[in-house]
Structure 1
Amino acid sequence: MDSLKTLILVLTPMFIGFCVKLPQSYLKILDKILNLLVYTILLLIGIGLARIDNLFAQLNHIAGYSILLFILTIACNLFILGLFDKIHPFEYVKKSTTKSHKIGILGSLKQLATACLGIIIGQLLPTSMHPPESTGTYALMLLILIVGIQLRSNGIPLQQVLLNKRGLHTALWFILSCLLAGSIFALILPDVSLTQGLALSSGYGWYSLSGIIMTQAYGATWGSVALLNDLMREFFALAFIPLIMKRYQSTAVGVGGATSMDFTLPIIQQSGGLMIVPVAISFGFIVNLAAPFLMLIFSTL
Structure 2
Amino acid sequence: MVYSLVSMKGSLIILAFFAVGVLSGLWDIIPSDLLKDEWNTYVLYVLMFFVGITIGYDRELLLSLKRVNLNIVLVPLGTIVGTLLGTLILSLVMQDWSASESMAVGSGFGYYSLSSIFITQYKGVALGTIALMSNLMRELIALLTAPLSRRWFGPLAPISVAGATSMDTALPIITQYAGKNYVVIAIVHGIIVDLSVPFLVTFFCYL
Q: Same fold (TM over 0.5)?
A: yes
Q: Secondary structure at the match of 2:92?
A: helix
Corresponding residue for residue 62 of structure 2? 156
Identity of aligned residues (%): 34
Corresponding residue for residue 165 of structure 1? 71
Please state how far the C-alpha of 1:272 moved relative to its aligned partner.
2.0
Question: What per-residue deviation string (whole Å, max 9, x for no partner) do you get for residues 29-58 of structure 1?
Answer: xxxxxxxxxxxxxxxxxxxxxxxxxxxxxx
- Please report the TM-score for the alignment, with normalisation by the length of structure 1: 0.62
Please state how far the C-alpha of 1:160 moved relative to its aligned partner.
2.7
Q: Which has the larger radius of gyration?
A: 1
Q: Secondary structure at the match of 2:156?
A: helix
Corresponding residue for residue 206 of structure 1? 111
**Preserved contact between residue 146 and residue 174 of structure 2 (Cα < 8 Å):** yes
Higher relative contact order (CA 8 A, sep 6+): 1
Please state how far the C-alpha of 1:178 moved relative to its aligned partner.
1.0
Which of 45, 52, 74 is residue 138 of structure 1 equivalent to?
45
The correspondence of residues 75-154 of structure 1 with structure 2, limited to 5 A, is 98-122=1-25, 123-130=28-35, 132-151=39-58, 153-154=59-60
Which of 257, 262, 265 is residue 163 of structure 2 equivalent to?
257
Aligned length: 202
Please state how far the C-alpha of 1:104 moved relative to its aligned partner.
1.4
**Preserved contact between residue 88 and residue 99 of structure 2 (Cα < 8 Å):** yes
CA distance in 2: counterparts of 1:222 and 1:179, whole angstroms: 17
Please state how far the C-alpha of 1:255 moved relative to its aligned partner.
0.7
Please state how far the C-alpha of 1:164 moved relative to its aligned partner.
4.7
Please state how far the C-alpha of 1:137 moved relative to its aligned partner.
1.4
One-letter identity of the residue aligned with 1:280? A
1:183 and 2:65 aligned = no
- Please report the TM-score for the alignment, with normalisation by the length of structure 2: 0.88
CA distance in 1: counterparts of 2:60 and 2:68, whole angstroms: 16
Q: Secondary structure at the match of 1:190?
A: coil
Cα distance change on mapping 1:170 and 1:195 into 2, 3 Å: same
Q: Secondary structure at the match of 1:204?
A: coil
